[in-house]
Homo-oligomer: A and B are copies of this chain.
Amino acid sequence: MTHIIPVIMSGGAGSRLWPLSRQANPKQLLPLVTEQTMVQETVERFDSEMFSDPVFICNALHVDAILAQMSDIGRAVDACIVEPVGRNTAPCAVVAACHAAKRKDSLVMLVPADHHVKNPAAFRSAIKRAVPAAKDGYLVTFGITPDAPETGYGYIARGEALEDGVYKVDAFREKPDTATAQKYLDDGSYAWNAGIFLFSPESFLAEAEAHAAPIAKEARRAYEASDAQNNVIHLDADIFGACPSESIDYAVMEHTQKAAVVPCDIGWNDIGSFTSLQAARAAISHDGQGNAVNGSVMTERSENCLVQTDGLPVSLVGVSNLAVIVNDGEVLVVNLDESQAVKNIVTRLKEGGETERL
């Protein structure tokens, strides 16, 4: 029987959600959309007989919090693999494959820790559709059916059908301009690249060795030289530190002949900015004017705002399309049309040496 091992990439910092997301307590550890934290939501998505206990790949700072959050929802953890430094997703995927390869007849379900999926049942159906192709050696990516000409995501063009609902990848496309994004949307054969993968470890390692040999070699060595304490596995710091930093897309997916895509419509949201957080929360509940609020909040002639406060009461008058965040000693007011620029504030705090505020 095939074991699908969820490998949850939890290394991110989520600086576009500062000051909610902080270095010691980043996005994936927060209950951003529901009452569960993002890692809890992510794990619950794989709560079916298809899946083994999850593996986390994370920063040493977050191991205890992840284990505690899993304990809180009564979930066993196969392993926490600790990255001494972040090296993007390609080395991460190699490590995941090395870990999974120790178990016969397994597949790796590689997912980010900080995405929201409104319809997990639809996601599990898509995974089921993907299993035969993955067992055949395809590196299967899950492409999100677009509902708007988004310019913030890469796109995947599908090619010939392998079986019902599973296609070879024709091409990966960079983040497009608006006109191109509209063309992709109208075309109907493009999907958003959500960075979610299903593959057999042997097939992935072979493709990584073929297309990204230094990464495959160094990440494997770092895993093999790791220091395990119970189920916490520390990758070798020197070796992993020397591994090139690259994304799984650039290093492997864009080069392999074995890329496949399963288009799916699962209510996916990467919660990549306050704009998408507002959309995800308002889709669950709002005040009738599109305001999604948490904490002591009064609104007057205001609409489509996201407000969250962990203390001081917040009052809004005559505003729309803003996020107002009061969290852990910081106040942020951001236009939801410019929410990507929140990271500029984080950059300035870093450059100014104000690390205690990060």
Contacts and interface: CB of A to CB of B under 8 A. Distances in A.
A357 B301 CA distance: 21
Given A298-B348, A313-B357, A348-B298, A331 B326 contact: yes
Given A324-B331, A331-B312, A333-B322, A317 B345 contact: yes
Contacts of A19: 315
A338 B312 contact: no
A317 B338 contact: yes
A335 interface: yes
A322 B334 CA distance: 11
A339 interface: yes
A35 interface: no
B315 A345 contact: yes
A344 interface: yes
Contacts of A288: none
Interface in A276-334: 298, 300-301, 309, 312-319, 322, 324, 326, 329-334
Nearest to A336: B318
A331 B342 CA distance: 20
Contacts of A322: 319, 333
A303 B315 CA distance: 21
A313 B337 CA distance: 22
A341 B309 contact: no
Given A301-B338, A341-B301, A333 B319 contact: yes
B333 A314 contact: yes
Interface in A202-249: none
B357 A335 contact: no
Contacts of A330: 312-313, 315
A100 B4 CA distance: 91
A314 B330 CA distance: 6
A10 B109 CA distance: 70
B339 A317 contact: yes
Contacts of A339: 317-318
A331 B334 contact: no
Contacts of A335: 317-319
Contact of A331 (B315, B329, B344, B345): B315
Contact of A315 (B314, B317, B319, B332): B332
Contacts of A332: 314-317
Contact of A345 (B300, B333, B338, B357): B300
Contacts of A329: 312-313
Interface string A147-166: 00000000000000000000
Contacts of A326: 312, 331
Given A338-B318, A339-B317, A300 B331 contact: no
A317 B324 CA distance: 10
Given A314-B331, A322-B333, A300 B341 contact: yes
23 contacts: A300-B341, A300-B344, A300-B348, A301-B338, A301-B341, A312-B329, A312-B330, A313-B330, A314-B331, A314-B333, A316-B333, A317-B332, A317-B335, A317-B338, A317-B342, A317-B344, A318-B335, A318-B337, A318-B338, A319-B322, A322-B333, A324-B331, A326-B331
